[in-house]
Chain A
Amino acid sequence: MVNSVTSIAGLRSIPDRLRGRFREWVNRRIPAAREITLDQRRIFIFPSRVGLFFGLCLLVMLIAAINFENNLSYGLTFWLATLFVVAVLHTYANLSGLTIRALRAQPAFPGQQSEFHLMIERSKQREHFALYLKWPDSSESLVNLVDEDRVVVQLHMAVDKRGWFSPGRLLLESTYPLGLLRCWTWIDLDLHALVYPRPLPSTDLPGLATGTPDGAAALVVGHDDFYGFRAYRKGDSLRQVHWKGVAKGQGVLTKHYTAYADRSVWLDWDLFPGAGTEQRLSHLCYWVLEFDGRREEYGLRLPNVVIQPSVGGKHRDRVLKELALYGKEGRKG
């Protein structure tokens, strides 16, 4: 009884096991790397569906040649068959020698699309056409390398969970020049997108974070004091642009608020008692964005992590990264 159950379970898992085996084999054969040059170890080639259809057509032609005993029909059939053979080399050459380099992946919030940047570079002066790139769930891209030696490709892909998002193995395939053969590779570019926690609004910062070494207060209510106008600079929030002034033709001015140094905020892990880890991180994320929008200083205090209060895009990214990776293994650059 027990035996039969296990054997059925064993049967059921055969495709899974095979898939697992295949994945292992591919992992061994094409290990992850930031930069991969395609060679015979990494390129697979097999007749495409069109190629099989072509084979069928050749069979019909051969039968016509046999039945009509027509030597030129034999000749044409053989010519197309050998064209297929020559196409193996040409299709293969379209991928061979290409270098794919992972450039960067944009961080994103869950549910958003992250943008992945790749670069494809050729190693010798030959034309490469119709290189099709796609991760299993990403957008697709079709590029040529004709006049330029390298091209940057952007692929978009929705991310879901907080932490490092791995897009999986990138499919690079091509059927150029004749479409009769499909030449492809699955490469792991070791490219990961950072996924921040999902921002979750909380009505108020529910408590006062105390016990900071420098005695800074954390309670922040309402808006900062309006300080004055200054000319718009690139990077200023559009929310702070004095639109009425723009409408009156006074030029683009930014409303400037003051944030007092002693009013810098500590976003503390302990601000949300009773909430779960993910909820806390989501709330913290929300407030990070909120303060960043107001251009106020804020710091972060998580168990084991302390980031001194500061302001600006770099600071925000650093804080968000800490939130994204809180409690996650394997920190990556």
Chain B
Amino acid sequence: MNILQQVPRNALVWMVICLFALVAPHAGRLPVWVLAVYVLAVIWRLQVHRGRWSFPGRAVKVALIVSSCAGIYASYGSFIGLEPTVALLLTAFAFKFIELSRRKDAYVLLFLGYFICITEFLFSQDLLITLYSLLNVTLITTALVALHQPGEHQFNRGTIRLASVMLLQALPLMVVLFFLFPRFGPLWTVPVKSHAGKTGMSDFMKPGDVASLSQSDEVAFRVKFDGKIPAKSELYWRGLVFSRLEQGTWSVLGYYDVPIKERRANEVPTQGEPLSYSIIMEPTQQNWLYGLHYAHSNTPGVMHTSDYRLFSPGPVQVEYMYRANTWNGPVVEAELSDWRRKIETKLPPAGNPKTRQLSKELRASATSDEAYIDLVLDKFNREPYVYTLRPGTLSGRDTIDRFMYQTRRGFCEHYASAFVFMMRAAGVPARVVAGYQGGETNPVNKTVIVHQFDAHAWAEVWIENKGWIRTDPTAAVSPLRVELGLEEAMVAEGSFLAANPLSPMRYRSIPLLNLIRLRYDALTYRWQSWVVGFNSHRQLDLLRSFFGEISARSFATAFIGSWALVLIPVAISLFRRRDTFPVSPADRHYRMFCDRVALLGLKRQPGEAPGQFALRAVAALPESSDQLWQITNLYNELAYEDANPPGERSAEVLQKFCRAVARFKPDRRRRPEEDRVII
């Protein structure tokens, strides 16, 4: 085999490290047998290295490929989607390692490794994952360096140093490229995640759904307000509007459930300056976005539905950033169409007779719809209704009747659901709204962090001339929930994150832990807004704030300038002439002396002893003979008698020697004889 194609053992070890480091973050998403393939691959290749086993033959390779394809199909049910594709890639990566015999194979393996780093980002762009990927890239690069160090027969930890240095030198260039490279939309559609679990609110709601969501301390989204943060009790993040009640389940009207002429949201007359904020959502694999009432977004790609929600055409697969404006108190949907009125007052034909009866009676006793709302809220407030995370199960028929008259224990969705039922039973257009309420203000960077346990459901009622008005029956039962949040509302019950004992949210009372948590969250926000959420709009803003006006010239200047700023010092550090050995002062002066003699055309030959050189020099420059011999003798004394312990004497000689060299200034006009001969 060509000597260039050999794979040093050091490189092999680094590749094994890469193999496991790369598969580790994917491990949770992969079937267990893929991990077994990795262990098998490494054992097989190492046995080949030790000469025990042989490389797989063609038939074995085909069998491995076919069986792993079959395995992936069996595990995922298809080859379509991101997860099976990545699993296939990772399996191929392990197989490539088994048959790695030459340098060429190693290139394929390592470049595939870089690609696997990218696939990890398609699943998560989390800060920790990113840091881990930095390590992975360094490991792959180290293996690449080790591949080009022939004769390294032992594992060498030091190989990582050069790889890290090179990557660090490349890092600033990458940052420039990252912010300057134009961003454009996808060229074609790509496989999407097909197996990721959906998180957050779903598009239907049964009693108990929100309560179970409230057990999670995961972050739903983070909000940054341009101005002041509104009071917590005003932060109702609308996400879903449930207009349909069927068999005890509230659900959202689908796009095709709405008649064509009703599909566009009506114009909302807005006045004054809006409240502006940007939201970064964590991936949910669902389409809805959140905003305050009434929200409008100018971010391209954000759509508005006819029930005034924000909506993303594709599911939110990665951290997604958008901006929204909210106006206070506009009349939303002043005119209610017949279709809309019908849909928003519709109830199942039968069931819950007691509640229906009660509604009719209460409405009859009230003078207006608004007075009726107050009566219902007053009932919740006055009577012994309990706001609890442990409402017990309500199943079967007439659940609302049983809740209203028997259990009287419920979480927000019970109250919202019962309230809207009563409104509709009295002919008042109303609907359930689900989303989040409140949020934690991070004092570090003034963002509002909304967690899953802030999930909430409330109601909207349509009032003549006022449009849709938000009404929260939960606030009538437990004002604490709206003003302070779930944790305070559940203090007595002690049920806040009861199933989640390790959640950092439970240790907010320990100041240090809390500070660390908040700082890390602020870092995450910054990361998400600057790196993950960076897009063409942010790019334009950034470039404008940097250059004022964007021109090709300023672009080129920034590009070339920043690169030069990095590459020139790197080049200098690489090419700076340094002597192999530290030069002693005596040697330095002797070289100076030789250079001066060389100016006269008499060059010291490589390996020529100082004495020999002096002989030649004296022959050519007889009039400087004394000086030449003095310098040579002193140098010999310094250079060859250093076995004696250095003391007063050697320092004295050195001084004398240096002075002698300094005094030696031969007449340049006088060219020695030898020179002429050479010419």
| Interface residues in A130-171 (C-beta closer than 8 Å to B) | 130, 132, 140-142, 144, 149
Contact A76 B4 (CB under 8 A): no
> Residues of B contacting A74 with CB < 8 Å?
178, 181, 183
A2 is an interface residue with CB less than 8 A from chain B:
no
Stretch at the interface among A87-95, A223-231, A272-280: A87-95
Taken together as a complex, chains A and B put the C-alpha atoms of A70 and B187 apart, in Å, by 13
A60 contacts the other chain (Cβ, under 8 Å)? yes
> Shortest CB–CB separation between residue A146 and chain B, in angstroms?
8
Known: A70-B121, A72-B130, A179-B107. A83 touches B149 (CB 8 A): no
Distance between Cα atoms of A75 and B118 in the complex (Å): 10
Q: Of B130, B148, B163, which contacts A175 at CB under 8 A?
A: B148
Q: Which residues in chain A, 41-88, are within 8 Å of chain B measured between CB atoms? A: 50, 53-54, 57, 60-61, 63-83, 85-87
Partner of A75 from B148, B531, B580 at Cβ < 8 Å: B531
Residue A85 contacts which of B121, B318, B535, B567 (CB distance < 8 angstroms)? Answer: B567
Q: Is B174 an interface residue (CB 8 A)?
A: yes
Chain A residue with Cβ nearest B177:
A78
Task: State how many angstroms separate the Cβ of B22 from the closest Cβ of chain A.
Answer: 13
Pair B167/A83 contact, Cβ less than 8 Å: yes
- Which residue of A68, A86, A96 contacts B166 across the interface (Cβ within 8 Å)? A86
B186 adjacent to A76 (CB under 8 Å): no
B168-219 interface with A by 8 A CB criterion? 169-171, 173-174, 177-178, 181, 183-190
> Do A76 and B133 touch (CB < 8 A)?
yes
The answer to whether A90 and B151 touch (CB under 8 A), given A57-B114, A67-B188, A79-B137, is no
Write out the residue numbers on chain A whose beta carbons fall within 8 Å of the beta carbon of B184. Answer: 66
* Segment among A12-20, A119-127, A194-202, A323-331 that sits at the interface with chain B: A119-127
Which chain A residues border B107 with CB–CB below 8 Å? 50, 53-54, 179
CB contact under 8 A between A78 and B181, given known A83-B167, A89-B571: yes
Question: By the criterion CB–CB under 8 Å, are B531 and A82 in contact?
Answer: no
- Interface: B577 (CB within 8 A): yes
Within 8 A of B (CB), among A12-46: none
B144 contacts A by Cβ under 8 Å: yes
B626 in the interface, Cβ–Cβ < 8 Å? no
A-B contact count (CB 8 A): 162
Q: Which of A63, A77, A89, A129 contacts B574 (CB 8 A)?
A: A89
Q: Identify which of residues 103-126 in chain B touch chain A, using a CB-to-CB cut-off of 8 Å.
A: 103, 107, 111, 114-115, 117-118, 121-122, 125
Minimum Cβ distance to chain A for residue B8 (Å): 10
A178 on the B face (CB < 8 A): yes
Distance A50 CA – B4 CA, assembled complex (angstroms)? 13
Q: Chain B residues near A110 (CB, 8 Å)?
A: none
Contact of A79 among B145, B151, B167, B189 (CB under 8 A): B167
| Residues on A with beta carbons closer than 8 Å to the beta carbon of B174 | 75, 78-79, 81-82
Instruction: Knowing A63-B187, A124-B577, A132-B4, say if A73 contacts B118 (CB, 8 Å).
Output: yes
CA distance A124 to B535 in the complex (A): 47
Neighbouring B residues of A124 by C-beta, 8 Å: 577-580
Q: Give the complex CA separation of A68 and B137 in angstroms.
A: 20
Contact between A177 and B118, CB atoms less than 8 A apart: no
Rounded to whole angstroms, the CA-CA distance of A53 and B107 in the bound complex is 9
Determine whether the beta carbon of B575 is less than 8 Å from that of A96: yes
Tell me if B100 is interfacial: C-beta within 8 Å of chain A. no
For the complex, give the distance between the alpha carbons of A130 and B185 in Å.
44
The residues of A that contact B115 with a CB separation of less than 8 Å are 57, 60-61
- Which residues of chain B are within 8 angstroms of A140 by Cβ–Cβ distance? 3
B55 close to chain A: CB less than 8 A? no
The reply to whether B144 and A179 form a contact with Cβ atoms under 8 Å apart is yes
Decide if A176 is an interface residue (CB 8 Å cutoff).
yes
Nearest-Cβ distance from residue B24 to partner chain A, whole angstroms: 17
* Cβ–Cβ contact B567 & A83, under 8 A: no
Interface residue count on the B side (C-beta < 8 Å):
60
B565 at the interface (CB under 8 A from A): no
- Closest residue of chain A to B106 (Cβ to Cβ) is A179
Question: Is the beta-carbon distance between B118 and A53 smaller than 8 angstroms?
Answer: no
On chain B, the residues within 8 Å of A81 by CB distance are 174, 177
Residue ID in chain A nearest B126 by CB atoms: A72
Residues of A within 8 A of B162 (CB): 90, 177
A178 to B122, CA, bound (A): 27
- Option from A63, A70, A86, A175 in Cβ contact (under 8 Å) with B170: A86
**B82 nearest CB neighbor, chain A only:** A68
Name the distance in Å between B182's Cβ and chain A's nearest Cβ. 10
Q: Which residues of A contact B186 (CB under 8 A)?
A: 66-69
B651 touches A (CB below 8 Å): no
Report how far A54 CA is from B110 CA in the complex, Å. 10
- The B1-43 residues at the A interface (CB cut-off 8 A) are 3-4
Q: When chains A and B are docked, how far (Å) is the Cα of A149 from the Cα of B186?
A: 54
Q: Is the CB of B579 within 8 A of A82?
A: no
The 10 A-B residue pairs with the shortest CB-CB distance in the complex, in nearest-first order: A82-B173, A82-B170, A72-B121, A78-B177, A93-B574, A79-B174, A124-B578, A176-B148, A83-B170, A67-B190
Q: Can you spell out 22 A-B residue pairs with CB atoms less than 8 angstroms apart?
A: A50-B107, A63-B187, A66-B185, A66-B187, A67-B188, A68-B122, A68-B186, A69-B535, A71-B533, A71-B534, A72-B531, A73-B122, A74-B183, A75-B178, A78-B177, A79-B167, A79-B170, A82-B171, A83-B167, A85-B567, A144-B149, A176-B149
* Residues on B facing A (Cβ under 8 Å): 3-4, 103, 107, 111, 114-115, 117-118, 121-122, 125, 130, 133, 137, 141, 144-145, 147-151, 162-163, 166-167, 169-171, 173-174, 177-178, 181, 183-190, 318, 531-535, 563, 567, 570-571, 574-575, 577-581
